[in-house]
Amino acid sequence: MPIIKYGSTEIYYSMYSEVRNDLKITVNLINGVEVHAPADIDEKILSQLLYKKAPWIVQKIEELNEVKHTIQPIEFVSGEKLPYLGRNYRLKVYRENIKDASIQFHQGRFIAKVPNDWSQKEVQYHLEQEMISWYKVHGTKKVIERANIYQEMINVVPRSLTLKSQLKRWGTCTQNGDIYLNWRLVMAPVGVIDYVLVHELAHLIELEHNEKFWRIVRHTLPHYKASKEWLRVHGMELHSLQNRQLHDTQK
């Protein structure tokens, strides 16, 4: 990954060569720093422009890191709301004489069962793992259902479609035709899932983010910009599940 050196600070970024006349730089906590530059730009000029923009990039990274720390993690207590496909559903937690935790969706709410003798920290840790598994299993079904619609529209078929943990990407399309989506997307509205799906399916035809690529996206989803903006504004809210560690059970 290319890097900008600004004093003692090293800024890693993703580079996209496109058919454009200007330089565009975006900074967010999901994708990091992205540089969109004209395909024929001189490397020396590019380096000078990036160095000139470095103070702004560092400032944006610091601002976004502050936002990250304000995200309230899900605590897994009765009455709390858990998101799925853009809607929030109440959680009810029952303590019973059992050995393991479980969670299921029943009659419009999430029902969790945990052992009587667990601490709240243990409840949080284990229910978070159960919830992530639930999102992956049920989210995969929904994603495949949506993908079937757009595969037919675009006339492409990925080699595989998988939900997985991706810290800095909502979606990835490999050169071999495998598509990976961030499992956190199943918390978002269906339209947002559709946008990321179409984005990655379009990469099966065009790997670069050029005019041909965006023409495919626009033709398939004319209102894709609304979902793209939703991710920009609300994307970090999908990180309320934080893969916490349970240190006291690993001694």
Q: Is 12 strand, coil or helix?
A: strand
Q: Which of 7-11, 23-27, 28-32, 209-213 has the lowest mean pLDDT?
A: 28-32
| Token pair belonging to 41 | 């730009």
Are 30 and 168 in contact, with CB atoms under 8 Å apart? Answer: yes
Read off the pLDDT of residues 49-72 as tens digits, 9 standing for 90 and up.
Answer: 999 999 999 888 887 766 555 567
Given its phi and psi angles, is residue 37 left (phi above 0), alpha (psi -120 to 50 degrees) or beta?
beta
What is the rounded CA–CA span in Å between residue 159 and residue 172? Answer: 13
Confidence of residue 128 (pLDDT cuts 50, 70, 90): very high
The one-letter code for the residue type at 29 is: L
Q: In the sheet where 160-164 sits, what is the strand order?
A: 160-164, 178-182, 171-173
Q: Is 178 strand, coil or helix?
A: strand
Domains (range + CATH), the chain: 3-69 (no CATH), 81-239 (3.30.2010.10)
Q: Is 184 strand, coil or helix?
A: helix
Q: Which of 83-97, 119-133, 228-242 has the lowest mean pLDDT?
A: 228-242
